[in-house]
Amino acid sequence: MRCRFVPTVIACFKWVVDEAYIRLRPSGDLDFSSVDYKIGEYDRNAIEAAVRSKEALGGKAIAVTVSMPEATKGVKDALSRGTDEAYFVADSSFGNLESSQTAFILAEVVRTRIQQYDLIICGEGSSDLYAQQVGPRLAEKLGIPCISFVQKFSITKGQLVAERRVEEGVEVITAPLPALVTVLPDINVPRIPGVKDTLMAGRKPTVKITKDELPPMGQPLLRTVSITASRMERSCEMFGTDAQEIARFVGSLRKRGVVG
Amino acid sequence: MDFKFTEEQELIRKNVREFCVKNVEPIAAEIDENSRHPAELFKKLSDGGWMGIPIPQEYGGAGADFLTSIIVVEELSRSCSSTGFTVSTHASIMCMMILLFGTEEQKKIYLIPMAEGKRLGAFCLTEPGAGTDVMAVTTTAVLDGNDYVISGTKTFTSNGPIAGTFIVFAWTDKSAGRKGMSTFIVPRETPGLRVGEHFKKMGLRSSQTSEIIFKDCRVPKNNLLGKEGAGLPMAMAGFDGGRVGIAAQCIGILQAALDESIRYSKERIQFGSPIARNQAIAWMIADMATELSAARFLTYHAAWLKDQKLPFSKEAAMAKLYASEAAMRHTVKAVQIHGGYGYCKGAKVERLMRDAKITEIYEGTSEAQRMVISGNVLR
């Protein structure tokens, strides 16, 4: 009798500021005083992909996050989206972790707590900083293959086949499992949890891990000096399409210092 | 006091908002214009478990508290008042009445498909000559062997053209006065039940409303809901929950009016600056935001009292009275802020203003709410 492949798929997510609540001060600074939080947009795709894998093949979908202790709502959100259990690594100092630190913690949790898994899915980048670092760094720390920019994938026993969207087309890549993929929003449309899904989420198992239970992680090396909103200025200059006008257009860009 | 929602309630609000942006907002103007019931939308609402939110899971609902259902009605109404109302009246009156007063058999046969959204409910009390004056109802139910035979005409029946299950009030003993009215569950397929044409209304146009005519309509004794003669108090209990639902609908309308007014007044340039910088406009928006907040607290408090199983009849009437009159007042202001653009079809505030008016009329007029409130405080 053949053994059925029932994978364990891990979805990592970040609980980020919901940009709809960020206000702009007259000075151009961002006002975060009344913000709410949400699961990052691409991370919702990662969770949905993990849950769809479970629904298609059986097995288990696990949500993992590293965040502030207040992110319990985010954990319930991830569970309401169909994941079976969650690992919640929380500490009040985890509000501004660097990608390398987040990857370190996630790797520790995957290696020592979850142990058996077939696939890890991360969003291509977080909704707030979009550094695109955590996925590849996590794969590196775990010593597993990493495929980024994934718009479609399938898994069978021992093997992953993933479509990467690259600039000029689609690249199809295979890799042995366990592996890690970082997914694009094109991969799926995340479901909207129903009322029952949300109400049942709190009853699903959540493993809470504190900072003290982890080995010491490295110091952050990056420092955010400031964040300001980008401004769009329109000078309402009109250009034609003939050679003379194009030259005038380039001249105008040079004059403003946009091109050298 | 704790003014904080649970994490689940906050998530459900976000989810229903996302659902509305994707599924309700894009069709709201069209279903209003065509007075169309969007069956495809209600299928999605049923699939998501949004139709029977406060009903226990064993009876097909989501098993949430009443306050959660109020949050959902508020958010639905922010996008489409008709949709919010249809969900609200179905869950907080029809489903709730069978849950509260039905036998186990009635819950299994009627409540489960209703809470799952497979059959909509309709409440048949109002008649051509009996609005606020419920004692003027003329519909009768006469016991004949093992059946009741219902005869009479109901009107302004919300969900009438699309409902599968009707809750009908009729005299079983007119001479007994307030103890002579009874309530019946009547499936749509019952011979003798005829659904009239959908009324074309000023607002709330995609909510379906019609006459329901009963002519020698025979239902088994088992379809009596609650005890014979207990119809009036049951109707009043149904109204109490329903009024909090209407108040939630009004909050949704008010929030939408505020959203639109803030957006437009910041965009609209007159005399070289956005009209929001004019005190006349800014103060209209300040009043709108303040009364919206007041309406919210009254509504959530009434819902909370119901969840605590405390008396909430007066609070429900207060919430409905205040929220509906605030919705009317401020949707008129929202149109004023939008000027000529707000008076044209396609402007959301135009629909909001038409939708607001009915909230001062149905589930008891503002005058009826004042009767309930004064009756309570003057005791």
Q: Residue A29 — pLDDT band, cuts 50, 70, 90?
A: confident
What six digits make up the tokens of B30?
A: 């069209």
Q: Residue A96 — pLDDT band, cuts 50, 70, 90?
A: confident
A36 within a domain of the structure (yes/no): yes
Q: Residue A225 — pLDDT band, cuts 50, 70, 90?
A: confident
CA-to-CA distance for B228 and B255, rounded, in angstroms?
43
Give chain B positions within 8 Å (CB) of A36: 10
CATH code, domain with A114 = 3.40.50.620
pLDDT digits (tens, 9 = 90+) for A66-83: 999 999 999 999 999 999
B52 Cα to chain A: minimum distance (Å): 10
pLDDT digits (tens, 9 = 90+) for A115-132: 999 999 999 988 888 888
- Is the ipTM above a cut-off of 0.90? no
Angle formed by the axes of helices B348-358 and B231-267, nearest 10°: 160
CB hemisphere CA count around B102 (13 angstroms): 23
Closest CA to B302 of B329, B325, B321: B321
Looking at domain B232-377, which CATH architecture does it have?
Up-down Bundle (1.20)
The residue whose two tokens read 């109002």 is B126
CB contact under 8 A, A73 and B7: yes
DSSP H or E stretch at residue B198 = strand B193-198
Domain span at residue A236?
A: 230-260
CB contact under 8 A, B62 and A196: yes
> Are A102 and A204 in the same domain?
yes
CB B204 within 8 Å of CB B81: yes
Helix locations, chain A, DSSP H = 41-57, 72-80, 99-109, 134-142, 195-201, 243-255
User: What pLDDT was estimated at residue A1?
Assistant: 52
Identify any residues that bridge with B193 across adjacent strands, giving them in sequence order: B214
**Residue A48: φ, ψ to 5°:** -60, -40
Active site includes B33?
Answer: no
Closest CA to B225 of B82, B101, B340: B101
E strand segments, B15-59: none
Residues in chain A: 260
Once rounded to an integer, what is the mean pLDDT over residues B184-191?
97
What six digits make up the tokens of A46?
A: 């990662």
> Are A253 and A178 in the same domain?
no
CA–CA distances in Å: residue A96 to residues A99, A126, A227: 9, 13, 14
Distance of CA A228 to the CA centre of its chain: 22
User: What pLDDT was estimated at residue A222?
Assistant: 82
> Are A253 and A183 in the same domain?
no
Residue A2, pLDDT above cutoff 70:
no
A65 Cα to chain B: minimum distance (Å): 17
CA-to-CA distance for B172 and B152, rounded, in angstroms?
13
User: What pLDDT was estimated at residue B164?
Assistant: 97
A38 Cα to chain B: minimum distance (Å): 9
CB B302 within 8 Å of CB B314: no
Task: Indicate left, alpha or beta for B231 from its phi (over 0: left) and psi (-120 to 50: alpha).
Answer: alpha
Give Cβ neighbours of residue A129 (< 8 Å, ≥ 6 apart): none
The residue whose two tokens read 């590293």 is A66
Q: DSSP class of residue B315?
A: H
CB contact under 8 A, B50 and A194: yes
A22 within a domain of the structure (yes/no): yes
CB A47 within 8 Å of CB A157: no
CB contact under 8 A, A198 and B11: yes
pLDDT digits (tens, 9 = 90+) for B246-260: 999 999 999 999 999
> Are A240 and A201 in the same domain?
no
CB-closest option in A36, A73, A198 to B15: A198
Q: Which residue of A has its CA nearest to B62?
A: A196
User: What pLDDT was estimated at residue B109?
Assistant: 97
Residue with the larger pLDDT of the pair B290 and B346: B290
What is the count of residue pairs from A and B with beta carbons less than 8 Å apart? 50
pLDDT digits (tens, 9 = 90+) for B110-162: 999 999 999 999 999 999 999 889 999 999 999 999 999 999 999 999 999 99
Total domains in the fold of chain A: 2
> Are A66 and A187 in the same domain?
yes
What six digits make up the tokens of B35?
A: 């007075």
> Are A157 and A112 in the same domain?
yes
Once rounded to an integer, what is the mean pLDDT over residues B182-204?
96
A76 Cα to chain B: minimum distance (Å): 8
Closest CA to B319 of B374, B238, B240, B207: B240
The CATH number of B121-229, from 3.40.605.10, 2.60.40.1250, 2.40.110.10, 3.40.50.11540, is 2.40.110.10
Buried b (16+ CB within 10 A) or exposed e, B288-316: bbebbeebbebbbbbbbbbbeeeebbbbb
> Are A135 and A255 in the same domain?
no
What number does CATH give the domain B7-115? 1.10.540.10
Once rounded to an integer, what is the mean pLDDT over residues B257-267?
97
Lowest mean pLDDT among A121-135, B61-75, B336-350, B354-368: A121-135
The residue whose two tokens read 């979850």 is A114
> Are A110 and A207 in the same domain?
yes
User: What pLDDT was estimated at residue A81?
Assistant: 97
Q: What is the pTM of this model?
A: 0.91
Identify any residues that bridge with A104 across adjacent strands, giving them in sequence order: none
Q: Give just the sign of the alpha carbon dihedral B157, B161, B163, B167.
A: positive
B17 Cα to chain A: minimum distance (Å): 10
Q: Which residue of A has its CA nearest to B54?
A: A195
Q: Pick the residue of A72, A189, A198, A200 with the most B CBs within 10 A to test the interface with B by mutation.
A: A198
What six digits make up the tokens of B219?
A: 């239902």
> Are A57 and A84 in the same domain?
yes
Compute the mean pLDDT over every residue in chain B, rounded to the nearest whole number: 96
Residue B303, pLDDT above cutoff 70:
yes
CB contact under 8 A, A192 and B63: no
Give Cβ neighbours of residue B344 (< 8 Å, ≥ 6 apart): B350
A224 within a domain of the structure (yes/no): no
My answer on whether omega of the bond before A178 falls inside 30° of 0, hence cis, is yes
CA-to-CA distance for A56 and A162, rounded, in angstroms?
17
CB B52 within 8 Å of CB B1: no
Q: DSSP class of residue B174?
A: G
Q: Report, in angstroms and rounded to the nearest whole number, the Rg of chain A calculated over CA atoms.
A: 22
**Domain chopping of chain B, boundaries:** 7-115, 121-229, 232-377
> Are A191 and A258 in the same domain?
no
Q: Residues B8, B291, B363, B367: which is the catalytic one?
A: B363
CA-to-CA distance for B322 and B121, rounded, in angstroms?
27
> Are A137 and A184 in the same domain?
yes
User: What pLDDT was estimated at residue B103?
Assistant: 97
Interface residues on A facing B, Cβ-Cβ cutoff 8 A? 36, 38, 72-73, 76-77, 80, 192-199, 201-202
The residue whose two tokens read 């149904």 is B238
List, as own/partner pairs, every contact residues B276-285 make where C-beta atoms lie below 8 angstroms and the sequence separation is at least 24, other chains included.
B281/B337, B284/B333, B284/B336, B284/B337, B285/B258, B285/B261, B285/B337
Q: DSSP class of residue B55?
A: S
Lowest mean pLDDT among A9-18, A54-63, A179-188, A227-236: A227-236
User: What pLDDT was estimated at residue A256?
Assistant: 86
For residue B338, the one-letter residue type is: H
CB contact under 8 A, A76 and B7: yes
Q: DSSP class of residue B91?
A: I
Virtual torsion, Cα B209, B214, B218, B223, nearest 10 deg: 40
CB contact under 8 A, B8 and A76: yes
- Render B115-131 in DSSP notation, one character per residue: HTTSS-EEEE--BTTBS
> Are A191 and A242 in the same domain?
no
User: What pLDDT was estimated at residue A131?
Assistant: 84
CA-to-CA distance for A80 and A78, rounded, in angstroms?
5
CB contact under 8 A, A73 and B49: no
Determine the Cα angle at B165 with ends B161 and B170, to 5°.
95
Residue B243, pLDDT above cutoff 80:
yes
CB A62 within 8 Å of CB A85: yes
Q: Pick the residue of B4, B5, B6, B11 with the most A CBs within 10 A to test the interface with A by mutation.
A: B11
CA-to-CA distance for B319 and B317, rounded, in angstroms?
6
A153 within a domain of the structure (yes/no): yes
Residue B176 CB: number of other CB atoms within 10 A? 12
